[in-house]
């Protein structure tokens, strides 16, 4: 099944915990196994930035259908590339991403100043990159059955002298037959607490990270999408399971804002308002 460029895309479940990770060269303190830890602060770190060190092989527990791959909380530079080769059980490559930029050029010239270093390439500035948890995400053009995935990162000039990343994501991908309705909502959940002094009214803040939120209506579902996909996703994922969400796959100046690793925050029932038409609402919150 081919994925459309201008549709909401959900990848789930995250199969990385069912996989065996190998290859590359990683430090003892931050081994490759940390890529299977849910908390993004637990990171894997390569021993250096050489290409032989900055690769990994993800081997699934069995042949499974795949549609999306992600690297969360990474330190990849603007010059880094990632190549993903999806293989079958005979190690034959069935899908090759080619060398993808870790930070695609998505900004338009009118969003930049002539003097900016990234004016010609449209890449995010360091300040823009720091505003969000770094996430490399690639949704496969066609969803394919596979047994392993070889990931090759090239970033030999990385200023840190190594590559570091948190949780990996690998799962199937789905798009609704008819795209989400208008009036989708992107926002933030801010858990910062405020204390105010009684006498002067001065405010003191205990700052907390802000998480992105996303909500949309899926108002034109057939029975297959409603039950075999969304209803089953609720059953399997609940409110804890990881979902890789992209507002659309086509690159836009907002792609880095509207693609995230998230979880559902509520499980709304599937409704049947009309003949042969089903409806559901989706609400999710970013995982940090």
Tens digit of pLDDT for each residue in 82-135? 999 999 988 999 999 999 999 876 655 666 665 566 655 667 777 777 888 999
pLDDT confidence of residue 217: 98
Q: Domains of the chain, with CATH numbers?
A: 9-174 (2.60.120.260), 185-286 (no CATH)
- Its sign, for the CA torsion 189, 191, 192, 195, is positive
Q: How far is CA 258 from CA 100, 119, 145, 191, 214, in A?
A: 19, 22, 27, 20, 9
pLDDT confidence of residue 116: 61
> Is the distance from CB of 246 to CB of 17 less than 8 angstroms?
no
Coil/strand/helix, residue 127: helix
Q: CA-CA distance, 34 to 41, in Å (whole number)?
A: 9
pLDDT confidence of residue 128: 78
pTM: 0.92
pLDDT confidence of residue 237: 97
Q: CA-CA distance, 212 to 180, in Å (whole number)?
A: 18
Cα(first)–Cα(last) distance of the chain, in Å?
A: 31
Residue stretches of the chain with pLDDT short of 70 = 105-122
pLDDT confidence of residue 108: 55
**200-232 exposure pattern, b = at least 16 Cβ within 10 A, e = fewer:** eeeeeeeeeeebbbbbbbbbbbeeebbeebbbe
Q: CA-CA distance, 21 to 28, in Å (whole number)?
A: 15
pLDDT confidence of residue 39: 96
Burial (CB count within 10 angstroms: exposed 0-12, middle 13-18, buried 19+), residue 277 = middle
Residue 149's contacts (CB-CB under 8 Å, 6 or more residues apart) are 57, 58, 66, 69, 84, 85, 86, 87, 170
pLDDT confidence of residue 153: 98
pLDDT confidence of residue 103: 87
């Amino acid at each position: 099944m081919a994925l459309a460029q201008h549709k909401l895309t959900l990848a789930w479940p995250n199969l990385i915990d069912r996989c065996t990770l190998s290859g590359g060269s990683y430090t003892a303190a931050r081994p490759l196994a940390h890529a299977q830890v849910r908390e993004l602060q637990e990171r894997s770190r390569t021993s250096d930035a050489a290409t032989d060190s900055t690769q990994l092989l993800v081997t699934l527990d069995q042949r499974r259908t795949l549609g999306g791959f992600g690297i969360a909380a990474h330190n990849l530079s603007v010059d880094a590339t990632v190549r993903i080769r999806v293989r079958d059980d005979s190690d034959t490559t069935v899908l090759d991403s080619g060398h993808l930029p870790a930070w695609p050029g998505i900004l338009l010239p009118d969003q930049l100043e002539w003097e900016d270093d990234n004016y010609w390439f449209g890449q995010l500035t360091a300040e823009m990159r720091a505003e969000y948890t770094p996430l490399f995400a690639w949704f496969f053009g066609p969803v394919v059955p596979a047994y392993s995935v070889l990931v090759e990162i090239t970033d030999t000039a990385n200023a840190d002298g190594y590559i570091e990343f948190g949780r990996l994501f690998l799962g199937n991908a789905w798009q609704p037959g008819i795209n989400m309705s208008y009036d989708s909502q992107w926002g933030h959940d801010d858990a910062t607490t405020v204390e105010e002094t009684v006498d002067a009214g001065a405010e003191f803040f205990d700052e907390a990270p802000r998480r992105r939120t996303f909500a949309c209506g899926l108002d034109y579902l057939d029975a297959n999408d409603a039950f075999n996909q969304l209803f089953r996703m609720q059953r399997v994922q609940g409110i804890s399971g990881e979902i890789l969400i992209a507002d659309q796959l086509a690159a836009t100046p907002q792609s880095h804002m509207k693609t995230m690793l998230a979880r559902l925050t509520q499980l709304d029932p599937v409704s049947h308002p009309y003949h042969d038409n089903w409806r559901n609402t989706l609400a999710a919150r970013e995982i940090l």
